[in-house]
């Protein structure tokens, strides 16, 4: 396997995808604003753990399965969108500035990790990316395919940590600084929730495949 240009090109593609504002980024920022930077980092850890499912999907040939059973993709699409809408509504309702008591799960580290995990696992765009891009950078007859996938997976994790990690820390500091300005804090948290909901709905509409 050529370890030069192909992997650098893969890195640039992943960098461009991760850097674009999306549902994963919105969830990390929203978690930090609600629960501090620790919650944001836990959300990031969940999203990175969820990426393992995307890598496995590429290795197991899920793309072929989806070609044979196109309805399965729509089920994943609708299920993921519905879950992300629920997460967005939860973020909207959980902000103390809204006058609604935060749900107990909002302060639970394990719940934040699980939400990040499910947000990643149920994001259909991530599967589209790995199924479309990963095979282009894999070379048969050179290094073992699992090792090539490991290299690319480590690149994805490094980019996610390098972009979402600082955002989690910054949002955590912002949330702390906004405790004395509840209206502004409420606006930012609710705007983040709207990004999640709008992104989920747009993804479902854009990705739906006619049977």
Would you call 119 exposed, middle or buried from its count of C-beta atoms within 10 A (0-12, 13-18, 19+)? buried
Say which residues have a Cβ less than 8 Å from residue 149's Cβ, sequence separation at least 6. 55, 58, 59, 134, 138
Give the closest residue to 124 by CA, choosing from 180, 70, 191.
70
Residues 24-38 pLDDT 10s: 888 898 889 888 899
Q: Within its chain, how far is the Cα of 1 from the centroid? A: 29
The model's pTM: 0.72
For 112, the enclosing helix (H) or strand (E) is helix 109-121
Residue 184 per-residue DSSP state: H
- How large is the average pLDDT for residues 71-99? 69
Q: Is the pLDDT of residue 165 over 80?
A: yes
Average pLDDT of the residues in 94-112: 57
Question: What is the pLDDT averaged over residues 153-178?
Answer: 88
């Amino acid at each position: 396997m050529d370890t030069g240009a192909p992997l650098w090109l893969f890195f640039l593609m992943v960098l461009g995808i991760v850097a674009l504002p999306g549902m994963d980024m919105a969830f990390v920022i929203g978690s930090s604003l609600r629960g501090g930077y620790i919650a944001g980092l836990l959300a990031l850890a969940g999203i990175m753990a969820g990426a393992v499912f995307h890598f496995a999907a590429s290795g197991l040939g899920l793309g072929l399965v989806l070609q044979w059973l196109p309805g399965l993709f729509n089920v994943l699409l609708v299920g993921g969108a519905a879950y992300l809408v629920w997460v967005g509504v939860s973020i909207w309702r959980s902000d103390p500035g809204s006058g609604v008591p935060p749900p107990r799960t909002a302060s639970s580290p394990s719940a934040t990790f699980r939400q990040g995990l499910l947000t990643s696992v149920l994001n259909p765009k991530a599967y589209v990316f790995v199924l479309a891009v990963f095979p282009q950078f894999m070379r048969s007859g050179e290094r073992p395919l699992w090792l090539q996938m490991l290299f690319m997976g480590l690149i994805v994790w490094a980019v996610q940590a390098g972009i979402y990690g600082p955002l989690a820390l910054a949002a955590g500091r912002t949330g702390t600084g906004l405790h004395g300005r509840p209206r502004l804090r409420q606006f930012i948290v609710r705007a983040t929730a709207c990004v999640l909901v709008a992104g989920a709905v747009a993804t479902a509409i854009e990705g739906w495949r006619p049977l």
